[in-house]
Amino acid sequence: MSGWIKVCALDEIAPQGSRVVASSQGDIALFRTADDRVFGLHDKCPHKGGPLSQGIVHGDTVTCPLHGFKIGLKDGEAVAPDKGCARRFEVKLDGGAVWLQLT
Amino acid sequence: MPYSVVPRMWGGLTTPAELRTIADVAEKYQVPTVKMTGGARIDLLGIRKEDLPKVWADLGAAGMVSGHAYGKSIRTVKTCVGAEHCRFGTQRSMAMGVKLERMLFGMGAPHKVKLAVSGCPRNCAEAGIKDIGVIGVDSGYELYVAGNGGIKTEVAQFLCKVKSDEEVMEYSGAFLQLYREEGYYLERTCHYVARVGLDHVKAAVVNDPLKRKELYERLMFALQDYEDPWQAAVAKPAVRREYEIIKIKELTAEVMP
Ligand code: SF4
Ligand code: FES
């Protein structure tokens, strides 16, 4: 596996919160669910580019702060009836550390 | 996404020192737009999220707190210059406005809450379209409630007349507590009063001194332990972290074990 980068400790993302990683591929939003899983999405809503990292995390979904698209954290897909997809980034937890894959 | 910060100015009053602080913040963080809000406060528009805790800290160091400019909460108490500076003024509207805004600081509500105090019936503070409008008259104050300048413009309705500043605070506090207890989420006072009827409000706030006192005391109880969330974001690393962007060095990436 290539391109894995250790970005932060799990503790540094609040439960149901998010952090932004500035990368050469644009801002990447890391989301932590209530049950401590972490997902990574391009920080750009498929609707009009809203910052998903500033949305509200509920279950495995984040609601965009601009117009309320619900985006699945696992696949970046907008929940129907909305359409669109935010690019997904692989994230792994290793002990207390959060790793992100940049390919 | 840019953010905005509206420093609280109690009753709309400010000082040269506060203005200097605001100007310094605007320059230091390259705030692109500075304007007056509809509630007569200064809006710093277009602040980067990662600068927010620094802006709050700089303003906090100068003794200024946030204006809750977007909350479902107390927003502003607008005032005219009143008897302090106006030849028509019958009451000290600025002082009254400062007292009301300080009393209600941090109060959450079903929707935003705006007040205004005018020193005489010429009503330069536009109290007729506020959730609570206070108008100074020779013998005291007239209180109006449930005005709205929003989607549906509504003229505030006359509630009652009172004599003293203390009564203005008690009646206003009781009305707002009644609204806090009975209003639905996102229901402005004009819609709330239209739903329950002005007589229902009068029965609790005007005609029943005991009920009024109880309502007022419940409001005071609710407000006593208020913790400023903006100062918490400045002081608590766990909260502050959310505003910081994670920078990575992609070339020297560590290899996952
Ligand atoms: S409302 Fe009356 S007291 Fe206040 S500024 Fe206008 S004229 Fe003067
Ligand atoms: S930009 Fe996200 S819902 Fe419109």
| Burial call B146-158: b when 16+ CB within 10 Å, e when fewer | bbbbeeeebebbe
Record the pTM. Answer: 0.84
Report which of B39, B5, B36, B52 is spatially closest to residue B233, judged by C-alpha positions: B52
What was the pLDDT predicted at B38?
A: 87
Q: How far apart are alpha carbons B175 and B131 in whole angstroms?
A: 10
What per-residue confidence (pLDDT) applies to B2?
Answer: 86
Number of neighbours of residue A77 by Cβ within 10 angstroms: 17
What pLDDT is recorded for position A87? 94
The reported pLDDT for the residue numbered B251 is: 57
SS3 content of chain B, % helix, strand, coil (to 5): 45, 20, 35
The low-confidence residues of chain B, meaning pLDDT below 50, are none
| CATH code assigned at A57 | 2.102.10.10
- CA distances to A44, B58, B94, B184 from B141, rounded to whole Å, are 53, 38, 13, 29
Q: What are phi and psi of A81, to 5 degrees?
A: -80, -5
What tokens were used for B214?
Answer: 């109880």
The predicted structure's pLDDT at residue B255: 52
pLDDT at B65: 87
Token pair for B10: 């109690």
- Predicted confidence at residue B194, as pLDDT, reads 97
Contact flag A6-B254 (C-beta cutoff 8 Å): yes
Residue B147's closest CA among B125, B129, B126? B129
Give chain A positions within 8 Å (CB) of B256: 1, 4, 6, 92, 94, 99
**CB–CB contact B1 A65 (8 Å):** yes
CA separation for the pair B191, B16 (Å, rounded): 40
CB contact under 8 A, A5 and B248: yes
Q: Do B1 and A51 touch (CB under 8 A)?
A: yes
| Segment (H or E) for B137 | strand B132-137
Contact of A22 with chain B, judged by CB distance below 8 Å, is answered with yes
pLDDT above 90 covers a percentage of chain A that reads: 80
Tell me which residue has tokens 């505030």. B156
Query: What is the model's pLDDT at position B188?
Result: 96
CATH code linked to domain B74-222: 3.30.413.10
Q: How many domains does chain A have?
A: 1
Confirm or reject contact between B247 and chain A (CB < 8 A).
yes
The answer to whether the CB atoms of B250 and A17 lie below 8 A apart is: no
State mean pLDDT over A73-85.
93
| Structure tokens, B119 | 């020193």
The whole-number average pLDDT for the span A53-82 is 94
Q: Which atom of ligand 2 is nearest to the CA of A67?
A: 3
Tell the CATH superfamily of the B1-70 domain: Sulfite Reductase Hemoprotein;Domain 2 (3.90.480.10)
- One-letter amino acid at A45 equals C
Q: What is the pLDDT of residue B61?
A: 92
Residues 24-63 of A with CB under 8 A from B: 24, 27, 30, 50-51, 54
The predicted structure's pLDDT at residue B233: 82
d(CA B86, CA B8): 24
The residues near A11 (Cβ < 8 Å, ≥ 6 apart) are A96
Question: Which two structure tokens, joined as six digits, stand for A103?
Answer: 């390919």
Distance (angstroms) between ligand 2 centre and the Cα of B57 equals 31
**d(C-alpha B157, C-alpha B200), whole Å:** 13
Going from N- to C-terminal start, the domains of chain B cover: 1-70, 74-222
**Residue A71, domain extent:** 4-101
pLDDT of residue B256: 54
Contact list in B for residue A54 (CB cut-off 8 A) is 1, 49
Cβ–ligand 2 contact at A83 (below 6 Å): no
Which ligand ends up closest to the CA of B122? 1
User: B70 C-alpha to center of ligand 1: Å?
Assistant: 28
Does any ligand 1 atom lie closer than 6 A to the CB of residue B84?
no
Structure confidence at residue B152 (pLDDT): 82
Q: How far is A14 from chain B (nearest CA, A)?
A: 8
Q: State the residue for tokens 């946030």.
A: B66
Q: Can you tell me the ipTM of this complex?
A: 0.76
